[in-house]
Structure 1
């Protein structure tokens, strides 16, 4: 039984590499079990173990057993890699060295056996850091880096994986792994030479070829953006190995081709042309691979003159250009209107009696550029089958039908694709799995779900052999299409996901997002849990971020009910504890916008309880939380968050934080407490801001006899000869109006243009009117309507609402700290 690792360990296992958290399935199997209805009334209960031991009672004998949480299939050694990283982050005792070595070897060798599996960015990070640890600590045990812990075969396997299995995400650590293993292999082989070991033994230890490891190293460099470094290594190889042994010249040509391909991939035109000139001078002929690299580079950038120049340049020894070069030329011609230029090129190719691979490209050209139909292609196949010149004539096969299907898909013509499929049946060509996959693809584009399901059932029954999960991309596309349908077939979706689960297939992040959003809309919470448990634990940090952000967007969608949003947040909180602070604050404000300050403050409390200091709220987050309570008062939540602030030794009080506390307490009908924070502000070294003045006048408006405090503050403002912003003047008038000083408010408004330098606006009248007691509102309205009819008309357009304190205008008073 594999050990259970605590949620806290997983939360910290990648402290210096973003964060990876396999979720409840691996982290204590914890779930929130609150129903959507109860979650609206109560804070979420502490997480409970999903696998609770059933208690047998007489009346519970016939009850269903508790639902078992599905778990992902962990690769051998991976959990030990996770444990090692978490122990490093916690600075706790590391696992024994022999266990670490075994885990590293098991994980890497398992990747080698799995034909399509590659390191994702997080797995590469773990492999690199454990390898670095083994090197750094080897002196303590053997005195030699790696020593006998990992042999050359282990290191070559890791190098091969890094070089030949590129990931979908970031490649920083794949490059680091290739550099690390290549350097150690070179160090060991050189040491063997220094010790006089026979070259044949060294060659066998290095994998049977002198330059195999060097070639894998170059492949990794050119694949992951380090082609300039690869070029320098090739220069060194030419100056040393080739000069010592001219038999290495053919290998030098291979290495130069790798460098050229890498520079082209990186878009380094100047470096590409320079290296080609150097390689050409060093004996590299313009062979088909080089022709393909140079043509593709310029064709993909729609550089017409350069593409024609490099394509027409004679290939060494009259060799045929590669099929890929011709296909690049087809795409280039279609994008740039160069069909006439392309036609004689393909006519010459047809007349050259090409082999089968080139004929498949000719058929695609005929469909895409010449708009040939099925009958035309049938006649071309006859021509192909009769051109032999003494050799066995090529025959159309499944690859030919696949090429035609690909062309029809590119033309977005599913009807033409079906006719090509029928042509294959007429010619008795047995379809391969790839043929059915292409058929599913174009039927999905045509939204023919029934037709897609027929093919899927055929693949499921095993009528056609599918190797290495080659159908996974189209099955992911199928699931996403089913989820996006106007009336999703939930039963079919669950059947497909169950089949893939039995295959232990990992779905793409986009598919997981589509499934989870569908399940959330249908309140299938258990299926969301299963989907996240089975897949996100195996994702890289980047892939997990993609799924997590989809949950955040779902929670921020005002069209979704509050119950569903809280359910989604509860799941996201447990499966993605690495959620960024900005995302948590956004969710907090999303619940403020729903008029649920209790839930918003619960999210703040969850953030405050995070174990890592860098994830906890800063002073800015406290300010934003208290600000949110202004338009959404909740006294109980306010006290809870304020107590958190009192206990937080990392937060230093400043004017903005005091302002936010004033806003929150004044909104919660405790203006006396709010005015206490004003005294704290005036006693501080920083002192009040203009925002402080507007807020304190508002608190005075709500406080009985608050006009006394307001007048004292106002006199100090006037005595300091400060420029008073309009919102501060409005707030002072509101403080007087709240204590029923109508005549004084009138005098201030009449004289404001002379004293303040600006006239009244509708906000001033709205604040004063709303603050006045009921008996004075009518008198103020008559006066304002007579004295300032235009401004009052603007206010009336805002509309009024009847409250227990009389009518109030619908104005938004946005107080910010």
Structure 2
């Protein structure tokens, strides 16, 4: 079993979800009612370590494998625990402990250069809001300093994967608190110099820069523009250095460009150009890149050719954006004179690197041509020589051209020039070998990368994730190699991407390595946001829904899914339940239903529609013990009111489980209810009459009432009525009922199902044979289609057509 720590972590993580969604409930244990599922047919609910018997020979056995627990970051458990108590409306922990946990977590994130994921940002918002709002009541207790709350503001500058609404809320809240505190000091008469010393702001306007960065990164650039105007106008003239103003307005421009707000981008540029920024290289980069990335040809040419202030050159990044633009849009002739002018302008080493990439990407030059250009660079400036970065750029250009052979040529050129491969070079090599699906080459590069890695940064993590996904995607995954790579990354305490974890888990499940699945989930998913967890969870759901995978394996996958992802959407749980019904395992399907019923979060519990789904499944694949379990849960469920659909489902399920007498009791409840029966009720009750001794009397009574009420009778109801008459041996009567369809009174004629249901319902082979002779004479075409499309099999009740009679509640 997983450790108690592991279980608590996942429970807390799900308690910590947004109050507005379905993740704010407690995670409870499996319902007691589930234990009623047959032990004969139900597999164990989880991977359980059974106690071993001590024998003499057991001395030489290996000890049982222990599962790895999650690596909980310092302080994170405090954030999780606070949120879980907040959701329960319980008393929060002591303030000192909350502050200590907050500080530990923030320092750890900043110290390792990590960002906050969306869930961590949400937890930080909730905890900080509580600590700040309760400050006035905490006299004599510890308070958060400017530096303490500023740590959260700094972390908002690093974008997460997925949505960043919580990051923006956190930045706004922290900055508002800093402003409030500063204003409070001013109201107390503290001078500005003392305030600056007290706040400990390390960079002029640093707090506002962080807020501006968050707003422009996370979709609030228009708000950033307004806030910047207000902020700048509120400053004394001696605190308005032009360089800072330019930098901030450039940040707003970048944000508007990132959000694709063209009209606002042009408006802000025109407003700021004459008095603030001007058309400098940074502005040139923003405007040119905005149009180049969208392949807007005329606008790209206009902004690129617009003169830059002081005749400065464009940035290397701008040139590279234009080079890619020209390659995509066949603008070689337009770009060539601009690049030739650049060559003649004594460019820097960084610009020469762009020129070399232009030669490969646009001019389609090879290795020998590029070597000639190296000589040209040396002639222009003997101090400039190609280095490893230059060769890496060229390899990347070859990769962009999807030309692995050219990439190999540039790699060989690097060896000729006696330039030792760097980590960045190995990353490039591994990337293009993976793109070329070169498994052996990728393995060799990976080994070199492991030796070259300096443990100071995680720049190689994206390509290593890509490598693991590649290994998992091969037709015959090399499980040992996969385990070796994951072990190397585990030693580095690296967190894998959700897509990688999903791929690993599916491979481990295919190899029946459930322990490795649990270890992988324990080590990585605890660091994920709810959105990232959904990526892994959806992979499990798809795996379980795959009918080609054995029932034993998908049940193991479900057991792990239930333990690690208690937030699984009820719609997905219903799909899983239906999938096990389709596998003809109603016991497993109802066990899933039981887990829903016992969930601590009310939003995850079954609704009336879910009960109907379960009962319809039991109607198709009967299991009496599972039916009793579901029925008992329904009786105890005060949130669900019995209606006609639920009574129909109960009637259908009990009839299918060979208890037509109990099924008929639900029909009586339907007839006595205010809602009354539906057409589905009629089809089901006629089927119950077919199964019940002397049920034909009840069927005639019901049919007489239908006739008196002059109801339109659907064909499936009429077919079921014929089956009810035939089920009690009324051969001549059912033949007359079928013959009445020829009159056109009901709007349809005799169909294959009419004859097939009647034939199957008749008791004894003699009656079946008599009916077959009659049907062949009277409805030869329909009977021939029935025989040709449906096989007959021998049963204790005689021959039966293999018909699918699907009743719905």
Same fold per TM (> 0.5)? yes
Shift of 1:784: 1.7
Residues 367-516 of structure 1 aligned to structure 2 (within 5 Å): 367-388=360-381, 393-461=383-451, 463-465=452-454, 467-516=456-505
Of 375-384 and 84-93, deviating more is 84-93
Relative to structure 1, the CA distance from residue 460 to residue 293 in structure 2 (aligned partners, 3 Å threshold; closer, same or farther) is same
Shift of 1:452: 2.1
Relative to structure 1, the CA distance from residue 166 to residue 46 in structure 2 (aligned partners, 3 Å threshold; closer, same or farther) is closer
Calculate the aligned-residue CA RMSD, in Å: 2.4
Query: Do 2:719 and 2:754's aligned partners in 1 also have CA atoms closer than 8 Å?
Result: yes
Question: Are residue 581 (structure 1) and residue 570 (structure 2) matched?
Answer: yes
Residues 1-40 of structure 1 aligned to structure 2 (within 5 Å): 6=8, 9-14=12-17, 16=19, 18=21
Shift of 1:216: 1.2
Cα distance in 1 for partners of 2:498, 2:315 equals 35
Unaligned 5+ residue runs, structure 1?
Answer: 31-37
Q: Name which of 255, 258, 266 aligns with 2:251.
A: 258
Cα distance in 2 for partners of 1:503, 1:317 equals 49
Shift of 1:39: 8.5
Cα distance in 2 for partners of 1:54, 1:258 equals 65
Match of 2:790 in 1: 799
Q: Name which of 59, 68, 75 aligns with 1:77.
A: 75
For residues 425-460 of structure 1, the C-alpha deviation after alignment (integer angstroms, 9 at most, x for no partner) is 222223321111111111111222222222222232
Shift of 1:634: 1.0
Relative to structure 1, the CA distance from residue 23 to residue 552 in structure 2 (aligned partners, 3 Å threshold; closer, same or farther) is farther
Question: Are residue 307 (structure 1) and residue 300 (structure 2) matched?
Answer: yes
Shift of 1:638: 0.8
Match of 2:537 in 1: 548
Relative to structure 1, the CA distance from residue 605 to residue 53 in structure 2 (aligned partners, 3 Å threshold; closer, same or farther) is closer
Relative to structure 1, the CA distance from residue 383 to residue 21 in structure 2 (aligned partners, 3 Å threshold; closer, same or farther) is farther
For residues 630-676 of structure 1, the C-alpha deviation after alignment (integer angstroms, 9 at most, x for no partner) is 12111111111111111112211000000011111111111111111
Match of 1:672 in 2: 661
Shift of 1:93: 2.6
> Is the partner of 1:371 in helix, strand or coil?
coil
Match of 1:42 in 2: 42
Cα distance in 2 for partners of 1:783, 1:276 equals 89
For residues 702-758 of structure 1, the C-alpha deviation after alignment (integer angstroms, 9 at most, x for no partner) is 111101000101111110111111111111111101111121122122222333132
Match of 1:35 in 2: none
Cα distance in 2 for partners of 1:69, 1:23 equals 24
Relative to structure 1, the CA distance from residue 313 to residue 376 in structure 2 (aligned partners, 3 Å threshold; closer, same or farther) is same
Cα distance in 2 for partners of 1:194, 1:11 equals 43
Residues 502-541 of structure 1 aligned to structure 2 (within 5 Å): 502-541=491-530
Q: Name which of 731, 734, 748 aligns with 1:742.
A: 731
For residues 790-810 of structure 1, the C-alpha deviation after alignment (integer angstroms, 9 at most, x for no partner) is 222221222223122222223
Match of 2:215 in 1: 221
Shift of 1:5: 7.0
Relative to structure 1, the CA distance from residue 341 to residue 417 in structure 2 (aligned partners, 3 Å threshold; closer, same or farther) is same
Match of 2:33 in 1: none
Shift of 1:605: 0.9
> Is the partner of 2:494 in helix, strand or coil?
coil
Q: Name which of 766, 769, 790 aligns with 1:775.
A: 766
Cα distance in 1 for partners of 2:457, 2:52 equals 41
Of 329-338 and 633-642, deviating more is 329-338
Cα distance in 2 for partners of 1:377, 1:193 equals 64
Question: Are residue 190 (structure 1) and residue 183 (structure 2) matched?
Answer: yes
> Is the partner of 1:797 in helix, strand or coil?
helix
Match of 1:694 in 2: 683
Cα distance in 2 for partners of 1:258, 1:223 equals 9
Cα distance in 1 for partners of 2:40, 2:163 equals 40
Match of 1:64 in 2: 62
For residues 502-545 of structure 1, the C-alpha deviation after alignment (integer angstroms, 9 at most, x for no partner) is 11111111111111111111111111111111111111111111
Cα distance in 2 for partners of 1:731, 1:47 equals 46
Cα distance in 1 for partners of 2:60, 2:126 equals 52
Relative to structure 1, the CA distance from residue 90 to residue 606 in structure 2 (aligned partners, 3 Å threshold; closer, same or farther) is same
> Is the partner of 1:704 in helix, strand or coil?
coil
Relative to structure 1, the CA distance from residue 23 to residue 413 in structure 2 (aligned partners, 3 Å threshold; closer, same or farther) is farther
Question: Are residue 249 (structure 1) and residue 242 (structure 2) matched?
Answer: yes
Match of 2:129 in 1: 132
Query: Do 1:658 and 1:681's aligned partners in 2 also have CA atoms closer than 8 Å?
Result: yes
Shift of 1:200: 3.1
Cα distance in 2 for partners of 1:23, 1:654 equals 30
Relative to structure 1, the CA distance from residue 660 to residue 464 in structure 2 (aligned partners, 3 Å threshold; closer, same or farther) is closer
Query: Do 2:26 and 2:601's aligned partners in 1 also have CA atoms closer than 8 Å?
Result: no
Query: Do 2:289 and 2:321's aligned partners in 1 also have CA atoms closer than 8 Å?
Result: yes
Match of 2:748 in 1: 758
> Is the partner of 1:649 in helix, strand or coil?
coil
> Is the partner of 1:630 in helix, strand or coil?
helix
Shift of 1:620: 0.6
For residues 287-333 of structure 1, the C-alpha deviation after alignment (integer angstroms, 9 at most, x for no partner) is 11111111111112221111111111111111111111111112222
Relative to structure 1, the CA distance from residue 255 to residue 458 in structure 2 (aligned partners, 3 Å threshold; closer, same or farther) is same
Shift of 1:597: 0.7
Query: Do 2:597 and 2:606's aligned partners in 1 also have CA atoms closer than 8 Å?
Result: yes
> Is the partner of 1:808 in helix, strand or coil?
strand
Of 676-685 and 738-747, deviating more is 738-747
Cα distance in 2 for partners of 1:551, 1:269 equals 42
Cα distance in 1 for partners of 2:686, 2:183 equals 80
Question: Are residue 154 (structure 1) and residue 148 (structure 2) matched?
Answer: yes
Match of 2:171 in 1: 178
Of 69-78 and 186-195, deviating more is 186-195
Cα distance in 1 for partners of 2:272, 2:636 equals 68
Relative to structure 1, the CA distance from residue 59 to residue 92 in structure 2 (aligned partners, 3 Å threshold; closer, same or farther) is farther
Cα distance in 1 for partners of 2:225, 2:318 equals 24
Relative to structure 1, the CA distance from residue 561 to residue 45 in structure 2 (aligned partners, 3 Å threshold; closer, same or farther) is closer
Cα distance in 2 for partners of 1:665, 1:482 equals 50
For residues 313-369 of structure 1, the C-alpha deviation after alignment (integer angstroms, 9 at most, x for no partner) is 111111111111111112222222222211112111111121011111111111111
Relative to structure 1, the CA distance from residue 568 to residue 378 in structure 2 (aligned partners, 3 Å threshold; closer, same or farther) is same
Cα distance in 2 for partners of 1:272, 1:15 equals 34
Unaligned 5+ residue runs, structure 2?
Answer: 31-37
Cα distance in 1 for partners of 2:754, 2:271 equals 77
Residues 612-761 of structure 1 aligned to structure 2 (within 5 Å): 612-752=601-741, 753-761=743-751
Match of 1:288 in 2: 281
Shift of 1:688: 0.4
Shift of 1:22: 14
Cα distance in 2 for partners of 1:788, 1:500 equals 72
Cα distance in 1 for partners of 2:5, 2:427 equals 40
Query: Do 1:20 and 1:540's aligned partners in 2 also have CA atoms closer than 8 Å?
Result: no
Match of 1:34 in 2: none
Shift of 1:246: 7.3
Cα distance in 2 for partners of 1:315, 1:22 equals 58
Shift of 1:493: 1.0
Q: What count of residue pairs does the alignment treat as equivalent?
A: 795
Shift of 1:280: 1.6
Shift of 1:23: 13
> Is the partner of 1:807 in helix, strand or coil?
strand
Shift of 1:54: 8.8
Cα distance in 2 for partners of 1:341, 1:140 equals 69
Shift of 1:565: 0.6
Shift of 1:11: 4.3
Query: Do 1:769 and 1:777's aligned partners in 2 also have CA atoms closer than 8 Å?
Result: yes
Match of 2:139 in 1: 142
Match of 1:788 in 2: 779
Question: Are residue 812 (structure 1) and residue 804 (structure 2) matched?
Answer: yes
> Is the partner of 2:606 in helix, strand or coil?
coil
